[in-house]
Amino acid sequence: MRYALVFLLSLILILAACDNPTADTPPVDEATPADVAAPTAETNTVDTPADGTPEISAEGTEDPLVAANIALPLPGTIQAPATEEALAPEGRFDSMIFEQTGGPNNTTLTIEVYGDGRVVRNGVESTVSETQLMELENMLRELNFFGLQGQFTVPGAGEDIYRYRITVEQDGGSRMINAQDGYTPPELLELFAAVSALGA
């Protein structure tokens, strides 16, 4: 009889333990790893290369320059063209128009230079020598003007700085470059100075 009581008490304790889980047992989450959706091909992913710079890749959403692995040059610097397709044409340019605006006095200077030696400076016409024209040609060629790449302006610049625009036409092609003080590389400043001295 005593053994029957001990057995009955043990059975009651076992059943009680099964009905009331202890606090040490964590609750069971109904969602299993198999139920969690796996990332699809369209999900943005961030890969961190060895240098620690994250590269974001998402099909159809990344910047074309990033996709092409093209780094923009720093403002005020010239970047060599990736190919030699845009080399300056050989021979004399047809026309060159240089404009300088702004500055402390908010002035405007416009100089038009033509391949035949004519120069029109703020409406006043004169003529330059063949040597001066050849110097301009050499500058354009050394700059690779038609293939020149870079950022020479920035938004939000002050009103009292000089802004420049130069347009060159040659062999049916045309190229215009805008620049401003503080972001114009020395090579371009040298060209601007040579043109702005004509007809003075």
Q: Which residues contact 142 (CB under 8 A, 6 or more apart)?
A: 187
**pLDDT tens, 121-137?**
999 999 999 999 999 99
- Spatial separation of the C-alpha atoms in residues 177 and 45, rounded to whole Å: 38
In this predicted model, which residue has the larger pLDDT, 1 or 194? 194
Q: What letter represents residue 86's amino acid?
A: A
Question: pTM for this one?
Answer: 0.59
**pLDDT tens, 78-129?**
665 555 545 555 778 999 999 999 999 999 999 999 999 999 999 999 999 9
- Spatial separation of the C-alpha atoms in residues 73 and 69, rounded to whole Å: 13
**pLDDT tens, 26-76?**
454 544 444 434 443 443 333 444 444 444 333 444 444 444 455 555 665
